[in-house]
Amino acid sequence: MRFWRSRLLMTIIGAGLLAALAACGADDPTATPQPTPTPTAEAMMEEKPTPTPDAMMEEKEPTPTPDSGSGGPAAPQPTPTPVPAPTATPTPPPGFNAADYFRGKTIRLVANASPGGGTDTQGRVMAAYMSDHIPGNPRVVLVSQPNKPLEYLFAATEAPKDGTYISWNSTPQLDFGFNEGTQFIKRSTFQAIGSTIDANRSWMTYDPVGNLGASAANSCLWDYSGQSSTGGGTHGEFLLADELSDIAEGNPTMLASVYAAEQLDVPFRYFGFDTVDTNAVYLMWARGDINSTVRSSLWYRFPVSNPDWIPNGLLRVMASMGPGQLKANLQAEPHCSDLREFLNDDQKFIYNSMLGPTNYALKSLWLPPGTPDHIADALSAAFEEALTTNEDLIQRYAGVAGESPNWTGRAALGAATKENEDLLVSSQAIIEEQKNRLLPKYFAEYISG
């Protein structure tokens, strides 16, 4: 319990630093900002008109949202008996007409992100189109509430359960369900609508030939198994970096990457830096500090941000990292397959236990617990229609996200949420064991003292 509280406190305290970094060009638009007084329900529902799509496209392209970890290895505490939520209606009531129901209403799409960031900007693009797809053509406005725990708790306990409040989140934040500050309310109690972005990760190497040698142009991570060097290049080994805060707490997502490289027995080293966002990765690649990174959305952004890198061989996917199957971006199929194909069953179980629970979905839509099923079904169908058939929306969304929407529907997102929530409970002992083993082995200089 102490860990979950400390993580929430660290998140809030660290906001000032993150805000300062953002002002200098740092790439962390959806990180928790400086703490703000708890708003009233009315303040939370304050409207912000959604810009037109054309106006949105004039904005500076946002940087991608960094991926977040599970919050570490502390064992979850027993869940207090929750306040019973209204029972969702299993079938539409007699005579329910979605168009009649939503007509004249205003729907708030609430982004748990800072204005101008990736999550906020993608939400504004969606909001500009959704009125045309939701039955009855209700007004849809985007509201920013960057305090993630506050938005989560408000959505769970105070937000209207009539379909007029939709949470638009950078990640599912399963760890909030094990946090006293968010009243142990599980994400699985929310009504899933769907998710828009592929959350799968990839091991990407910059200038593989220059940094690793000529063979790297056609090699994958596991091709270097058992070698002490990649055989040439400026570096001769895979060099990666993670944030000191993630190293200190033993972030499970980071641990999974370290574990995979260790079990494949490839030549690698990790370094610790204060900030390792996308901008920092680009800078460290250019300086030669590192040559690789493990991220999710960045693979899909290269055709937009650096269209010549993949065709010219300056960027290569050395392994797909899960939790699902990495897909093609706008230019190419992933160069290498999933590394779990080269792990045995025990290794795969340990790897999945660390990576899966908090990386199974990205950019997801949720309704408050207790929202009737027929309302959730209608909204899910509307978002699916918009994000899979409206070519103008798809193009504009891809322009700010770096990838076309990759819709995961209501049933699949809900099932994955429950599955990974259960896995998060059972994986705590594994995460703790690997943290205690891997940190002293590979990061002794960063955790000593």
The answer to whether the CB of 293 falls within 8 A of the CB of 221 is no
The encoded tokens of residue 42 equal 């009315």
Q: What is the pLDDT of residues 408-442, one digit of tens each?
A: 899 999 998 998 888 888 888 898 999 999 999 99
Which of the four pLDDT bands, split at 50, 70 and 90, describes residue 259? very high
Q: Cα separation of 175 and 177, whole Å?
A: 5
Mean per-residue pLDDT, 362-378: 96
Quick check: helix, strand or coil at residue 88?
Answer: coil
pLDDT-wise least confident of 167-171, 230-234, 275-279: 275-279
The answer to whether the CB of 171 falls within 8 A of the CB of 362 is yes
Q: Cα separation of 182 and 152, whole Å?
A: 7
Which of the four pLDDT bands, split at 50, 70 and 90, describes residue 385? very high
pLDDT higher than 90, residue 404: no
Mean per-residue pLDDT, 53-71: 37
Q: Decide which of 276 and 269 is more confident.
A: 269
Mean per-residue pLDDT, 52-60: 39
Mean per-residue pLDDT, 133-139: 98
The reported pLDDT for the residue numbered 266 is 98
Mean per-residue pLDDT, 131-155: 96
pLDDT higher than 50, residue 64: no
Q: Note if the pTM is more than 0.75.
A: no
Phi, psi torsion values for 400, nearest 5 degrees: -100, -20
Quick check: helix, strand or coil at residue 195?
Answer: strand
At position 213, the amino acid (one-letter code) is G
The answer to whether the CB of 171 falls within 8 A of the CB of 113 is no
Name, in order, each residue with C-beta under 8 angstroms of 142's C-beta and a sequence gap of 6 or more: 48, 50, 109, 110, 111, 120, 123, 124, 127, 168
The encoded tokens of residue 50 equal 């959604």
Mean per-residue pLDDT, 139-149: 94
Mean per-residue pLDDT, 182-201: 92
Mean per-residue pLDDT, 37-47: 43
Strands 139-144 and 106-111, bridge-based pairing: parallel
Q: Decide which of 81 and 194 is more confident.
A: 194
Q: Cα separation of 447 and 449, whole Å?
A: 6
The reported pLDDT for the residue numbered 368 is 98
Domain residue ranges in the chain: 2-199+361-426, 201-357
Which of the four pLDDT bands, split at 50, 70 and 90, describes residue 91? low
* Closest listed residue to residue 248, CA positions, set 267, 274, 269: 274
- Confirm whether 2-199+361-426 and 201-357 share one CATH topology: yes
pLDDT-wise least confident of 18-27, 45-54, 224-233, 398-407: 18-27
The reported pLDDT for the residue numbered 13 is 36
The reported pLDDT for the residue numbered 449 is 53
pLDDT higher than 90, residue 134: yes
Residues, the chain, total? 449
Which of the four pLDDT bands, split at 50, 70 and 90, describes residue 397? very high
Q: Cα separation of 134 and 93, whole Å?
A: 19
* Closest listed residue to residue 320, CA positions, set 351, 291, 346: 351
Q: Cα separation of 150 and 155, whole Å?
A: 8
Mean per-residue pLDDT, 193-220: 94
What topology does CATH give the domain 201-357?
D-Maltodextrin-Binding Protein; domain 2 (3.40.190)
Which of the four pLDDT bands, split at 50, 70 and 90, describes residue 65? very low
The reported pLDDT for the residue numbered 212 is 97
Q: Decide which of 4 and 103 is more confident.
A: 103
Longest dimension (CA), the chain: 71
Q: What is the pLDDT of residues 298-324, one digit of tens each?
A: 888 788 789 999 999 999 999 999 887
Residue 71 CA neighbour count, 13 Å, CB half: 27
pLDDT higher than 90, residue 43: no
- What percentage of the chain reaches a pLDDT higher than 90? 53
pLDDT higher than 90, residue 72: no
pLDDT-wise least confident of 3-17, 164-178, 389-403: 3-17
The reported pLDDT for the residue numbered 293 is 96
pLDDT higher than 60, residue 154: yes
Compute the mean pLDDT over every residue in the chain, rounded to the nearest whole number. 81
Ranked by mean pLDDT, which of 27-36, 106-115, 353-362 comes out on top? Answer: 106-115
The answer to whether the CB of 69 falls within 8 A of the CB of 245 is no
Distances (CA, A) of 43 to 79, 113, 231, 293, 367: 30, 16, 60, 40, 19
CATH classification (class only), 2-199+361-426: alpha beta
- What percentage of the chain reaches a pLDDT higher than 70? 79
The reported pLDDT for the residue numbered 248 is 86
Q: What is the pLDDT of residues 318-357, one digit of tens each?
A: 999 988 788 888 899 999 999 999 999 999 999 988 887 7
* Closest listed residue to residue 206, CA positions, set 290, 101, 291, 282: 291
